């Protein structure tokens, strides 16, 4: 997967991992938003994995926060994972307070457990 | 000092990564450490996003980026020829309106210049080495936010957005947020000659449910003038009561106004 691309991995446990690879910004935000909206509309629990992201900007943060809200309203599980942190990604998550607000889990396993737990549990 | 890097590109989303990578390459070559390069990339990206999203209402225009390395720092300037700086909630869109607070938080200092119909330029400075700390100059806190803005109409929207974001992060109540914005407005309306360098300089530290705001360096006597400006004529009241503490401090032959507000 090249930088700026999004990988979709359907898991046997019934959730989809959206892997954010490389650098993502205003230019790639619409594609990411489209993937997330489709998964939420289909009722698929979503885990967004930032572990291989090397850069994200405020448009990506806004996209993730909106998806989190949309998923919550739809009763679809949504969670974010960051097992390893690129400096630029870690810094913006911490400074904006979104590590706590999204929240961001420190492993894909933790995030998937949260996504599966929250599915069918609106609000 | 001439610019070490000049870029001019169409203000399109796909060009932002080009600018970001160019700046990262320059900064790494100049010896900036990885953490600061990451900060620089975020600041440059957010400044460019503002141009791409907001500068040109119709059609397309250029984005110009220049960078200068001098002394112990790198200064980057992002310019447009657009409609001027008009931050608003409606403009924030999917970016959450956090671009400017990110710029403020991650740069060592920043300045915005421009006006309606004149285009806008945003400059941000980054130390190449932690020389300010090594020199032992007053450093209230490593996470301090520092802003410099030209006096005039830019001060209020910039300060309001920053105070609003910080107060929200500190979970201020709505009433205390309103009080904080009133104090910010009062400071925003000061004259250029109240500030020693002719530029509005404000530093903010957010702590445990509080914001410590330092205004200055100020011209001689300006601290007291700002305090007097907080008094409400004929009512016997003062906006000073909105802050937990208000004081004028002298340090290194300069005057500073210190405000502490609590949520």
Contacts 24+ apart (CB under 8 A), A100-104: A101/A65, A102/A64, A102/A65, A102/A68, A103/A79, A104/A50, A104/A80
Q: Let me know if residue A123 belongs to a domain.
A: no
The answer to whether B52 contacts A25, with C-beta atoms less than 8 Å apart, is no
Q: Is B54 on the interface with A (CB under 8 A)?
A: no
- Residue A99 falls within a domain, yes or no? yes
Q: The domain at B1-137 falls in which architecture?
A: 2-Layer Sandwich (3.30)
Binning pLDDT at 50, 70 and 90, where does residue B2 land? very low
A63–chain B nearest CA distance, Å: 6
pLDDT band at B152 (very low <50, low <70, confident <90, very high): low
Task: Report whether B186 contacts B230 (CB < 8 A).
Answer: yes
CATH topology classification for B143-263: Heat Shock Protein 90 (3.30.565)
Residue B151 pLDDT: 67
Given this model, what pLDDT does residue B132 score? 40
A53 has a pLDDT exceeding 80: yes
Contact predicate A63/A34, CB 8 Å: no
The answer to whether residue A105 is domain-embedded is yes
Q: What pLDDT is attached to residue B138?
A: 42
Task: Tell me how far apart the alpha carbons of residues B225 and B255 are, in angstroms, rounded to a whole number.
Answer: 12
The length of chain A, given as a count of residues: 123
- The predicted pLDDT at position B136 comes to 38
Q: d(Cα B262, Cα B254) in Å, to the nearest integer?
A: 26
Q: Give B28→chain A minimum CA distance, Å.
A: 15
Q: Which of A37, A59, A86 to mutate to test binding with chain B, by most B CBs within 10 Å of its CB?
A: A59
Q: Using a CB–CB cutoff of 8 Å, tell me whether B98 touches chain A.
A: yes
pLDDT digits (tens, 9 = 90+) for B14-73: 889 988 888 888 888 888 888 899 999 999 999 999 999 888 887 889 999 998 888 788
Lowest mean pLDDT among A88-97, B4-13, B106-115, B235-244: B235-244
| pLDDT, position B227 | 83
Compute the mean pLDDT over every residue in chain A, rounded to the nearest whole number: 90
Nearest by CB to residue B169, choosing from A58, A92, A97, is: A97
Out of B14, B38, B106, closest to residue A27 by CB: B14
Mean pLDDT is lowest, of A1-5, B87-91, B123-127, for B87-91
The answer to whether position A57 is within a domain reads yes
Task: Select from B139, B108, B34, B97 the least CA-distant residue to A58.
Answer: B97
CA distances in angstroms from B159 to B112, B148, B167, B201, listed in the order given: 12, 10, 12, 11
Domain range summary for chain B, segments of one domain joined by + = 1-137, 143-263
CATH number at residue A42: 3.30.750.24
Q: What is the dihedral of CA B92, B95, B101, B102, to 10 degrees?
A: -160
Interchain pair A57, B34: CB under 8 A: no
CA distance to A83, B75, B84, per residue, from B166 (Å): 28, 25, 25
Residue A122 inside a domain? The answer is: no
Q: Does the beta carbon of B218 lie under 8 angstroms from any beta carbon of chain A? A: no
Per residue in B97-151, pLDDT (tens digit) is 788 889 999 999 999 888 767 789 999 999 886 544 333 344 444 456 666 666 6
pLDDT band with cut points at 50, 70 and 90 for residue A120: low
> B168 CA to chain A: closest CA distance, Å?
10
Distance between CA atoms of residues B62 and B64, nearest Å? 6
What percent of chain B lies above the pLDDT cut of 90? 16
Contacts of A100 (CB under 8 A, 6+ apart): none
A96/B20 touch (CB, cutoff 8 Å), yes or no: no
Q: Quick check: A58 and B169 CB within 8 A?
A: no
Domain carrying residue A60: 6-117
pLDDT at A41 over 90: yes
Q: Which residue of chain A is at minimal alpha-carbon distance from B101?
A: A96
Residue A96 lies in a domain: yes
pLDDT of residue B225: 84
What pLDDT was estimated at residue B254? 79
Same topology between domain B1-137 and domain B143-263: yes
Over residues B152-164, the mean pLDDT reads: 70
Q: How many domains does chain A have?
A: 1
pLDDT in tens, B187-225: 877 777 787 777 777 788 877 788 888 888 888 888 888
In this predicted model, which residue has the larger pLDDT, A16 or B198?
Answer: A16
Whole-angstrom Cα distance, residue A41 to residue A32? Answer: 14
Q: Check if the beta carbon of residue B244 is closer than 8 Å to that of residue B261.
A: yes
- From B41, B49, B52, residue closest to A58, measured CB to CB: B49
Closest Cβ opposite residue A26 in set B16, B35, B106 = B16
What are the tens digits of pLDDT across the range A78-105? Answer: 999 998 778 889 989 988 888 888 889 9
Instruction: State residue B38's pLDDT score.
Output: 92
Q: Which residues of chain B have a CB within 8 Å of the CB of A65? A: 96
Count of CB atoms situated within 10 Å of the CB of B83: 18
- pLDDT at B242 exceeding the cut of 80: yes
Q: How many CB pairs under 8 A join A and B?
A: 74
A23–B17 CB contact, under 8 Å: yes
What lies within 8 Å, CB to CB, of B209 at 6+ separation is B170, B171, B172, B262, B263
Residue A45 pLDDT > 80: yes
User: Which residues of chain A are within 8 Å of residue B102 when distances are taken between CB atoms?
Assistant: 58, 92, 95-96
Nearest to B94 among A23, A27, A66 (CB): A66
pLDDT for residue A16: 96
């Amino acid at each position: 997967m090249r930088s700026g691309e999004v990988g979709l991995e359907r898991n046997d446990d019934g959730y989809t991992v959206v892997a954010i690879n490389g650098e993502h910004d205003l230019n790639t935000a619409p594609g990411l938003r489209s993937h997330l909206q489709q998964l939420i509309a289909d009722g698929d629990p979503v885990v967004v994995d930032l572990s291989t992201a090397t850069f994200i900007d405020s448009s990506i943060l806004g996209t993730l926060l909106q998806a989190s809200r949309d998923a919550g309203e739809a009763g679809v599980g949504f969670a974010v994972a960051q097992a390893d942190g690129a400096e630029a990604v870690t810094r913006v998550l911490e400074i904006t307070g979104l590590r706590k607000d999204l929240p961001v889990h420190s492993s894909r396993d933790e995030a998937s457990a949260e996504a599966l737990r929250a599915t069918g549990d609106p609000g | 000092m001439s610019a070490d890097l000049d870029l001019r590109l169409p203000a399109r989303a796909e060009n932002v990564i080009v600018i970001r990578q160019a700046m990262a390459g320059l900064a790494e070559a100049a010896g900036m450490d990885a953490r600061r390069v990451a900060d620089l990339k975020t600041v440059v990206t957010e400044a460019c996003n503002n141009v791409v999203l907001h500068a040109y209402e119709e059609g397309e225009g250029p984005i110009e980026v220049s960078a200068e390395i001098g002394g112990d720092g790198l200064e980057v300037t992002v310019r447009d020829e657009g409609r001027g700086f008009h931050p608003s909630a409606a403009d924030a869109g999917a970016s959450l309106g956090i671009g400017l607070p990110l710029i403020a938080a991650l740069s060592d200092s920043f300045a915005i210049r421009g006006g309606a119909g004149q285009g806008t330029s945003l400059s941000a400075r980054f130390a190449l080495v932690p020389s300010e700390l090594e020199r032992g100059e007053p450093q209230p806190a490593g996470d301090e936010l520092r802003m410099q803005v030209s006096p005039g109409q830019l001060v209020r929207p910039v300060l309001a957005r920053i105070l609003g974001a910080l107060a929200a992060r500190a979970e201020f109540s709505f009433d205390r947020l309103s009080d904080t914005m009133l104090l910010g407005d009062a400071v925003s309306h000061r004259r250029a000659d109240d500030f020693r360098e002719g530029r509005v300089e404000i530093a903010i530290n957010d702590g445990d449910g509080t914001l410590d705001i330092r205004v200055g360096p100020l011209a001689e006597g300006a601290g007291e003038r700002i305090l007097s400006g907080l008094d409400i004529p004929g009512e016997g009241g003062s906006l000073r009561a909105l802050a937990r503490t208000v004081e004028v401090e002298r340090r290194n032959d300069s005057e500073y106004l210190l405000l502490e507000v609590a949520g």
